[in-house]
């Protein structure tokens, strides 16, 4: 994938090395408890203040590897390319695209949707309109899921931005509102359709990003499809040793995910993405 030289998005909140919510974990609760006990025992408050100030910050001062910095820069460029593509699609409809922001974190962080850990994988939180990504997921993509390639990583980012588009268009709210009136099984089917539409929107993005910036090189689409194939819920369940139970899927099968990404990429037409079919969601 040809991405170098493109503008990096400025809508990135880089929290790498900052722990959950940027709190100084080592100096936090433990220090406060000790300080309170010390004061209860008649200690001098100024000692406590000095002690707390001297606590070393847990912010990592270790230099980051060139490979990690490249990955961070890649993520910012891909987000920038999603802004360019969705800006122009919205503009064509006489509307303005509201940009999401992206949080880069390591291990854990706070989100508007609760506590996030690296294990939860990339996700979009509609409450704060932010995409959350721990860069280690990209290493997993190539090593654990055997889906290497930059377009495969870009597809993951574009899928999360796809959820932002669904949030802006009110699609995810409509699905959410049906939750209480549907059985668990029926609701799950709808959330699969929502996921497949995010795959479709990632395909639409790839189509237009390529038109604008010629990002796609031979083999890239196959790599992105391999990622869609590798991270389908049936594959994830197989890899974790579970039995495949179609009703427990939340993202769709590998085949469905590949189908919708490809359809978005080939048509580039946002109107072709009604994964809900006859359901009056779209």
Judged by CB under 5 A, the number of residues near Zn ion is 2
CB of 213 to Zn ion, least distance (A): 25
Considering the complex, state which of residue 150 and residue 195 has its C-beta at the smaller distance from Zn ion. Answer: 195
Considering the complex, state which of residue 8 and residue 128 has its C-beta at the smaller distance from Zn ion. Answer: 128
SS3 string of 142-174?
A: HHCCCCCCHHHHHHHHHHHHHHHHHHHHCHHHH
| Integer Cα distance of 246 and 9 in angstroms | 38
| Integer Cα distance of 27 and 194 in angstroms | 42
170-199 residues in contact with Zn ion (CB under 5 A) are: 195, 198
CB of 30 to Zn ion, least distance (A): 38
232-261 residues in contact with Zn ion (CB under 5 A) are: none
CB of 31 to Zn ion, least distance (A): 39
Query: Are residues 194 and 109 in contact, defined by beta-carbon separation less than 8 angstroms?
Result: no
194-223 residues in contact with Zn ion (CB under 5 A) are: 195, 198
| Integer Cα distance of 120 and 117 in angstroms | 6
CB atoms near residue 274 (< 10 Å): 14
CB of 133 to Zn ion, least distance (A): 13
CB of 18 to Zn ion, least distance (A): 25
Considering the complex, state which of residue 131 and residue 209 has its C-beta at the smaller distance from Zn ion. Answer: 131
Q: What are phi and psi of 207, to 5 degrees?
A: -60, -50
Binding site for Zn ion (CB under 5 A): 195, 198
């Amino acid at each position: 994938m040809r991405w170098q030289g493109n503008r990096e998005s400025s809508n990135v909140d880089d929290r790498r090395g900052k722990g959950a919510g940027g709190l100084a974990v080592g100096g936090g609760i433990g220090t406060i408890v000790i300080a309170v006990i010390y004061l209860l025992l008649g200690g001098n408050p100024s000692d406590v203040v000095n002690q707390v100030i001297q606590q070393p910050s847990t912010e990592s001062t270790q230099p980051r590897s060139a490979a990690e910095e490249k990955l961070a820069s890649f993520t910012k460029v891909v987000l920038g390319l999603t802004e360019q593509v969705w800006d122009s699609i919205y503009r064509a409809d006489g509307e303005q695209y509201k940009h999401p922001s992206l949080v880069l974190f390591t291990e854990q962080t706070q989100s508007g949707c609760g506590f996030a850990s690296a294990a939860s994988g990339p996700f979009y939180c509609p409450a704060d309109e932010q995409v959350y990504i721990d860069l280690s997921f990209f290493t997993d993509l190539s090593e654990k899921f055997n889906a290497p390639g930059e377009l495969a990583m870009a597809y993951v980012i574009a899928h999360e931005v796809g959820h932002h588009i669904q949030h802006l268009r009110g699609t995810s709210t409509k699905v959410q509102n049906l939750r209480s009136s549907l059985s668990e099984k029926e609701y799950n089917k709808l959330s699969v359709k929502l996921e497949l539409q995010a795959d479709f929107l990632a395909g639409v993005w790839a189509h237009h990003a390529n038109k604008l910036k010629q990002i796609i090189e031979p083999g890239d689409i196959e790599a992105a499809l391999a990622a869609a194939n590798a991270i389908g819920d049936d594959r994830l369940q197989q890899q974790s040793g579970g039995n495949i139970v179609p009703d427990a899927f939340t993202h769709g099968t590998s085949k469905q995910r590949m189908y919708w990404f490809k359809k978005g990429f080939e048509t580039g037409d946002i109107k072709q993405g009604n994964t809900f079919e006859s359901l009056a969601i779209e």
